[in-house]
């Protein structure tokens, strides 16, 4: 079975090839209900058509941007007349039609832009202040006139559509036809109402199956809809009512002033107001990879594009479906998401079992029919055929079709969807947003987590606690701090803090001072505010000429300013060692600028290392005075700076991180810290978290890059910390771990430059708070609270999903084997099937929809994180599962066989209805065997299967509902289900024979089973082998 599955039903969990997707689709055979089975599977034909449509739109946009634009320059915009304003627009108080406003940005036509008065003219026409932004009371009015920032989406499917899908099951349709014929023939032969009971029973049972299935599928679809909405929700920084605030992308309106920085997605079409070095990647819209520089000469910003560099502010001119991105978004959702490896594998399992089931169904029908004909020949009745004979043959056919219903486990692939939907919803509550379903599965196999330090292992609440300035190291808590720093030094220090920043000090509605920006910037500005309550560059006559924002490659930020009197000054701050290298002067104790001696350089290096060893993040501040003639094109110099100060920023380790790291190590998951910080800071934090051990290795990015492949193969198994790393180092590490060491790698990232590593990793984890939109778009899971503990929750749920599906498969295969063998053997020997069509349909619902609900939604327990990761290529149906399936099947077949062939004698059943009582008892015993086997399946290896049973409320509800409805079927619905009421003794016997499954399961678990082991450096397993324990393995 496993070799067949690997050959035909194997797909990559990330970016599977078109060929692999087509291959498994062609291998699937005997699908009862394609509409339902493939509901969560990508429609390749639709996807190809959508891709073609998307490319057409992109080409159209590209022509509009790069070709038509040139032609439009020759159009005389002076001759252009404004469209007559509609009454609705006039009453709202605006002076421009929404279509005209949208056309300006969409056409990229400067002449049209100037015709409307440029930026100032447009802001007047849409009644907005470029300084204070939109007034909150106007938002509803703006949405009515200019539209909402939402794209046209397919409306959610109503519940009746899911009922219709469930009714598309071919076997159920055949059974309904049989039932209708049965009702007609039954009334003709047995009269009204007795003749309709059999057929009506099948119809009622089909109705119940369809309703339960449809409601379950409908609830799943709502969960996915909510998660999809959450995925697309981006938080935007805007200026409204004169204050800067965060709003959802869905709440953005025309006239909003939006703040953009590196890695942001442009949330709507708009016009550039001001900014520095703003560079936009328009490839998502136009397909052109060359970034576009945005300035006042080229001020048009398109929705859906990404900020590649710089920062700026924009005025929103069109939203939602009035943007090109809105039109493009409609095509992006066509075709659906890729199916997960488990869904594909279980489609393969369903195909194999379906083939076996079809063979048994055909054989059963042939055996029953052959016996019937032989009996007619023996009685010399071949020439005489009655309506009752036709009804008997129809009943045989219905039983064969029902065996097929039970035998084809349509619920297997759908159980994966159910389990993933449940896990995704729970993870959302645990602050993890799963963007790709397959990542939830793959996380269960993760053998290594490459994590950032700042914000993930630490709290990201930063405070400056140490300062080295004017040759002295100081504690920030010191009361006389301000008086201890020379005035000249303090002046240039505060200039450096307040001018060289991309954060902003704002007042909220209550007049309280807030800082909007990154945690590092916030810490520096809070430090500056200790000395000066406010700092307004404009009031001091300082003009900012150019800004080079911080990026993870240069590890520094620079700004060029014009001081009063025409003097130019450059400020630079960043990673201490890097800034120190570009400095050749220092501000001494008297505030004088002097040459930086080697002794002073060594002293500063010792200060930096000292701060770092205290687990402080160190930032160096420097400046350089310039003459206008000494610079060209306002370029910020890269050398000959004067060092002002070194600050030490405390970023405490998050509570619970040490325990979370220990949980990972217990679970066989190696945790590696990859950070851009100083190596001493990184080592101190890594030791505190329990990542860096005595025999572990810490290395710097530049050293890592210089190593050969052979050297890296020796180093990487011991590598626990990489400091001063570039995004390319992270990408290289991830690639080596996956390709050379065959590890399943999860990697965290927050910056735009982390996108390649997030894309390369088996599981890309983007940070929800610190992460850019580019990082989130390339990630599989977004960690909403940036907390390492949340990553561990994802790993637990990943393992839980995999093992829950294994539990369900074990349970369903046992039911399949027993149901098939019981009916087939009985048909061959007795000439009748003990389980009727109605009874088999009920059993099918127990093992399909209800079984999936009970077992596939079990919450994870702590024991899951005390096992090694699930291997990348292990057999899905393990030897342990086969042991349990075969053992339980043998027990159930023996019990049912004894009842079938010797039940009347053993139970002392006499009278005309003894056969009906025995068949009811067999049915009841069979159902209770499945109920207790479902409990058995809760843990495939541990004897105590009742542990945590009351924590799983879904499981308990399913169990109660199953037992309650079984009682109703036996005691009250006998007319339709071919059952008769049972005595207390027979009820007790049924329950007892079912309950014996529990001790049988416990005995089976004592039978030793060889665990499959995988080759490779990392020890992996089939999901159950316990990790080594004890001091020798510490």
Q: Which residues are catalytic?
A: 452
Q: Are 498 and 537 in contact (CB under 8 A)?
A: yes
Q: Are 596 and 640 in contact (CB under 8 A)?
A: no
Tell how far CA 91 is from the center of its chain. 46
CA gap 646, 608 in Å, rounded: 7
Q: Are 542 and 563 in contact (CB under 8 A)?
A: yes
User: In angstroms, how far apart are the furthest CA atoms of the chain?
Assistant: 125
CA proximity to 924, closest of 861, 969, 874 = 969
CA gap 792, 662 in Å, rounded: 10
Q: Are 35 and 165 in contact (CB under 8 A)?
A: yes
Cis bond upstream, residue 776 (ω within 30): no
- The secondary structure of 727-743 as a DSSP string is HHHHHHHHHHHHHTS--
| C-beta atoms surrounding 1025 within 10 Å | 16
> Residue 621 is inside which H or E element, if any?
strand 616-626
Cis bond upstream, residue 520 (ω within 30): no
Residues 6+ apart with CB under 8 A from 960: none
CA gap 906, 916 in Å, rounded: 16
CA proximity to 951, closest of 426, 224, 434, 428 = 426
> Residue 583 is inside which H or E element, if any?
strand 583-587
DSSP state of 860: P
Sign of CA dihedral 115, 120, 121, 123: positive
Q: Are 580 and 678 in contact (CB under 8 A)?
A: no
Q: Where are the beta strands (DSSP E) in 482-535?
A: 504-507, 513-516
CA proximity to 212, closest of 1034, 961, 986 = 961
Q: Are 1025 and 962 in contact (CB under 8 A)?
A: no
Q: Are 222 and 234 in contact (CB under 8 A)?
A: no
CA gap 410, 974 in Å, rounded: 28
Secondary structure class of 909 (helix, strand, coil)? coil
CA proximity to 546, closest of 635, 638, 640, 641 = 635
**Residues β-bridged to residue 626:** 568
Q: Are 54 and 75 in contact (CB under 8 A)?
A: no
């Amino acid at each position: 079975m496993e070799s067949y599955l690997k050959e035909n039903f194997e797909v990559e969990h990330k970016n599977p090839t078109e060929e692999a997707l087509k291959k498994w689709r062609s291998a699937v055979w005997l699908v009862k209900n394609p509409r339902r089975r493939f509901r969560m599977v990508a429609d390749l034909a639709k996807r190809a058509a959508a891709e073609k449509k998307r490319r057409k739109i992109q080409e159209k946009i590209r022509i509009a941007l790069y070709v038509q634009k040139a032609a439009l320059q020759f159009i005389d915009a002076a001759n252009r007349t404004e469209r007559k304003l509609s009454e609705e627009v006039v009453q709202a108080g605006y002076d421009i039609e929404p279509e005209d406003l949208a056309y300006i940005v969409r056409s990229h036509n400067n002449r049209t832009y100037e015709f409307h008065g440029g930026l100032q003219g447009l802001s007047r026409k849409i009644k907005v202040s470029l300084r204070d932004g939109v007034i909150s009371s106007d938002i509803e009015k703006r949405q009515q006139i200019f539209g909402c920032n939402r794209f046209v989406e397919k409306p959610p499917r109503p519940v009746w559509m899911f009922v219709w899908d469930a009714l598309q099951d071919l076997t159920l349709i055949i059974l309904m036809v049989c039932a209708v014929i049965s009702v007609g023939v039954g009334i003709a032969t047995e009269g009204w109402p007795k003749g309709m009971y059999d057929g009506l029973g099948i119809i009622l049972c089909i109705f119940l199956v369809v309703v339960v299935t449809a409601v379950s599928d409908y609830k799943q679809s709502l969960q996915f809809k909510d998660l999809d909405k959450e995925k697309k929700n981006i938080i935007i920084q805007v200026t409204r009512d004169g204050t800067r605030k965060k709003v959802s992308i869905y709440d953005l309106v025309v006239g909003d002033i939006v703040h953009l920085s590196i890695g942001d997605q442009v949330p709507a079409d708009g016009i550039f107001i001001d900014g520095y070095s703003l560079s936009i990647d328009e490839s998502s819209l136009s397909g052109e990879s060359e970034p576009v520089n945005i300035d006042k000469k080229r001020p048009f910003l398109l929705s859906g594009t990404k900020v590649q560099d710089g920062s700026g502010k924009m005025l929103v001119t069109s939203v939602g479906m009035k943007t090109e991105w809105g039109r493009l978004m409609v095509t992006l959702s066509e075709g659906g998401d890729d199916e997960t490896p488990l869904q594909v594998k279980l489609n393969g399992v369903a195909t194999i079992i379906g083939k076996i089931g079809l063979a048994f169904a055909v054989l059963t029908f042939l055996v029953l029919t052959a016996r019937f004909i032989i009996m007619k020949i023996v009685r010399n009745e071949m020439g005489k055929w009655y309506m009752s004979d036709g009804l008997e043959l129809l009943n045989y056919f219905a039983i064969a079709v029902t065996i097929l219903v039970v035998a084809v486990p349509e619920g297997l692939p759908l159980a994966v969807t159910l389990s993933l939907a449940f896990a995704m919803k729970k993870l959302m509550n645990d602050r993890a947003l799963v963007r790709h379903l397959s990542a939830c599965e793959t996380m269960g196999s993760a053998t290594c987590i490459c994590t950032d330090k700042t914000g993930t292992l630490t709290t990201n609440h930063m405070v400056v606690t140490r300062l080295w300035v004017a040759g002295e190291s100081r504690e920030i808590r010191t009361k006389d701090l301000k008086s201890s720093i020379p005035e000249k030094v303090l002046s240039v220090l505060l200039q450096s803090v307040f001018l060289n920043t991309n954060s902003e000090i704002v007042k909220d509605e209550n007049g309280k001072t807030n800082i909007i920006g990154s945690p590092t910037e916030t810490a520096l500005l809070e430090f500056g505010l200790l000395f000066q309550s406010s700092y307004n560059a404009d009031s001091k006559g300082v003009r900012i000429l150019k800004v080079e924002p911080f990026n993870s490659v240069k590890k520094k930020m620079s700004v060029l300013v014009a001081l009063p009197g025409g003097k130019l000054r450059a400020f630079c701050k960043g990673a201490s060692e890097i800034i120190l290298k570009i400095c050749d002067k220092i501000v001494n104790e008297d505030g004088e600028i002097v040459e930086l001696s080697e002794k002073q350089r060594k002293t500063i290096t010792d200060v930096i290392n000292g701060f770092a060893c205290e687990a402080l993040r160190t930032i160096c501040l420097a400046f350089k005075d310039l003459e206008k003639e000494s610079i060209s094109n306002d370029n910020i110099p890269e050398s000959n700076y004067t060092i002002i100060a070194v600050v030490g920023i405390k970023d405490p380790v998050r509570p619970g991180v040490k325990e979370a790291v220990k949980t990972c190590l217990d679970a066989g998951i190696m945790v590696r810290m990859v950070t851009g910080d100083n190596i001493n800071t990184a080592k101190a934090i890594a030791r505190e978290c329990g990542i860096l051990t005595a025999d572990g290795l810490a290395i710097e990015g530049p050293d890592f890059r210089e190593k050969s492949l052979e050297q890296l193969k020796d180093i990487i198994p011991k590598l626990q910390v990489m400091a001063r790393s570039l995004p390319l180092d992270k990408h290289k590490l991830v690639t080596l771990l996956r390709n050379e060491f065959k590890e399943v790698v999860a990697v965290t990232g927050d910056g735009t430059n982390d996108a390649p590593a997030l894309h390369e990793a088996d599981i890309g984890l983007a940070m929800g708070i610190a992460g850019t939109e580019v990082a989130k778009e390339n990630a599989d899971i977004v960690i909403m609270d940036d907390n390492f503990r949340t990553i561990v929750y994802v790993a637990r749920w990943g393992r839980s999903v995999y093992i829950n599906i294994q539990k369900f498969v074990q349970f369903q295969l046992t039911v399949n084997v027993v149901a098939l063998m019981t009916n087939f053997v009985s048909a061959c020997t007795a000439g009748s099937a003990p389980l009727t069509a109605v009874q088999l349909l009920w059993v099918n619902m127990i093992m399909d929809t209800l079984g999936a609900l009970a077992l596939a939604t079990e919450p994870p327990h702590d024991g899951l994180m005390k096992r090694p990761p699930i291997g990348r290529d292990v057999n899905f149906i393990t030897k342990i599962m086969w042991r349990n399936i075969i053992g339980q099947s043998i027990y159930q077949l023996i019990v049912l066989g004894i009842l079938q062939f010797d039940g009347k004698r053993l139970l002392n059943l006499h009278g005309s209805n003894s056969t009906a009582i025995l068949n009811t008892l067999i049915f009841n015993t069979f159902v209770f065997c499945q109920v207790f086997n479902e409990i058995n399946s809760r843990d495939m290896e541990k004897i105590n299967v009742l542990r945590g049973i009351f924590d799983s409320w879904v499981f308990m509800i399913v169990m109660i509902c199953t037992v309650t409805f079984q009682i109703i079927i036996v005691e009250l619905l006998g007319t339709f289900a071919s059952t008769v009421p049972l005595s207390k003794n027979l009820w007790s016997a049924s329950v007892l024979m079912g309950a014996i499954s529990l001790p049988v399961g416990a005995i089976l678990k004592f039978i030793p089973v060889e665990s499959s082991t995988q080759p490779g450096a990392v020890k992996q397993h089939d999901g159950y082998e316990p990790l080594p324990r004890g001091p020798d393995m510490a």
